[in-house]
Amino acid sequence: MKWLITIALLLNTAFVQAESALAKVITKTGANVMFIRHALAPGYGDPSHFDVNDCSTQRNLDATGRAQAKALGKVLRQHQIRFDEIKSSQWCRCQETARLLNVGKVVPFTGLNSFFEEHADREQTLSQLKSYLDSLKQDDLVLLVTHQVVISAVTGVYAPSGGVVLFNTTTKASKALDLQRY
C-alpha cells in the first residue's frame, strides 16, 4: 500500500512541475495575451460566397482540427491556466476552436476578424484590436482566438493552425509557444 501512495505522490509532483513550467513561460514572457490561431481548417481562404453569419459558406474545422482544439484545451485545463476574458473572431472556425478549448465563455469580437481576402477591413480590424489591447492591464491574461494574418500583424510571428503566440501589450514582446510539449 505504501508503494501506491509513493507512486501517487511522485505522479502528482511531476504534474505540478509540468504545470508550473507552462505558467513560468507565460510569466517569463510577461504575457497578458495568448493568441491562438484557429485549429486546422483544410483549404485556403474562404469561398467566394463567404458570409460571416453562415458557416456553410466558410472554411471550417475538420475532424483533425476539432481534435487539435480539444487537445490544446486539455493542456490549458491540466495546467490550470485561467483567462480573464476569451474573445474570438466571428469566423465559424475560430468560434468552434474557442468553444472546443473548453476554458471559459467565448465572446465574439470583430477586432479579431480576418482581413485576408478583404472580408474585413484591415485598418478597422487592427484599430479595434489595438484599442482593446491598450485597455488591458499587465496582470490580465486574455485568450484571443483568431487568424494568422491578425496574429502576424500584431506580433510579427507566423502561427500555424492551432499555433499559440504569447504577447506582452506593454513591451510588445512575443513568443511562439508549442503547447504540445507541456
CA distance 39 to 145: 9
Full pLDDT tens readout for the chain, 182 residues: 443 333 333 334 444 444 458 989 999 999 999 999 999 999 998 988 999 999 999 999 999 999 999 999 999 999 999 999 999 999 999 999 999 999 999 999 999 999 999 999 999 999 999 999 999 999 999 999 999 999 999 999 999 999 999 999 999 999 999 988 88
Instruction: List C-alpha distances in Å: 159 to 35, 63, 173, 181.
Output: 9, 20, 15, 16
Q: How many domains is the chain built from? A: 1
CATH number, position 172:
3.40.50.1240
Range(s) of the domain holding residue 9: 2-181
User: What is the pTM (predicted TM-score) of this model?
Assistant: 0.89
Contacts 24+ apart (CB under 8 A), 11-19: 15/78, 18/79, 18/182, 19/78, 19/79, 19/80
For residue 42, how many C-alpha atoms fall within 13 Å in the half-sphere facing its CB?
A: 3
